[in-house]
Amino acid sequence: MERRSDIDRVKGFTILLVVFGHLVARADPSGVGWYEPLRRAVYAFHMPLFLYLSGLVAVLSGMALAPCAAWPGVAQARARRLLVPFFVMGTLIVLGKCLAARVMVVDNLPSSPLSGLAHLLWHTADSPALSIWYLFVLFFVSLGSMVWLGSMVWLGGWPSRLPALLGFFLLLYVLPLPAYVYLDRIGTYAVFFGLGLWAGFLGARWDAFIDRFWPGFLLLLL
């Protein structure tokens, strides 16, 4: 895939938003009344934007329409890129919080290292490392989309298969999924990955649309 400087810039901007959202973990800064409303506004779109970009890149890289024979290799590569960092970082966060709690106040402290590791994967609403949920969710959403698009050949080309996938993601969005194994996060954010797929498949037509109407979108965002 040819590197896209526009995607790199948006990713960098979104990472800055993530950092901004995590500047304050416990209480709002004293006398700074604008911080919490601004943080809520940032949280309303920065993770959907990440999922959208991931869907777009999945098309541009060819992963979204990978042939069935390539699926095992794609799954292994995605696991190395997403699941391995998720479990390594999650374990370090859980153990680090348990150790740090002996000398300082720690947010979202697990009752024990074992319970923290269990919540990392199972009862994920209480995960001590909830900040890295994106890695786990992206792994399953991206592979699930690839399998869907590759197996629904009876529907025809992607213009027929993608709307069905988006419809399924919308169903997940409105369903009250439980906070186990990040199902609630998958349901909330998969549709934005699907929109990124759609933009990627539209290609130059979508780019031309954005180039023409981006000022209006910016005004809506503000």
Residue, of 137 and 210, whose pLDDT is higher: 137
- Domain range spanning residue 42? 5-221
Highest mean pLDDT among 7-11, 36-40, 108-112, 144-148: 144-148
29: pLDDT strictly greater than 70:
no
Domain count, the chain: 1
Average pLDDT, the chain: 88
Contacts of 156 (CB under 8 A, 6+ apart): none
Cβ contacts of 130-136, under 8 Å, gap ≥ 24: 131/22, 131/93, 132/85, 132/86, 132/89, 132/90, 132/93, 133/182, 133/185, 134/47, 134/50, 135/82, 135/83, 135/85, 135/86, 135/89, 136/82, 136/83, 136/86, 136/182
| Section 177-188 average pLDDT | 97
pTM assigned to the model = 0.88
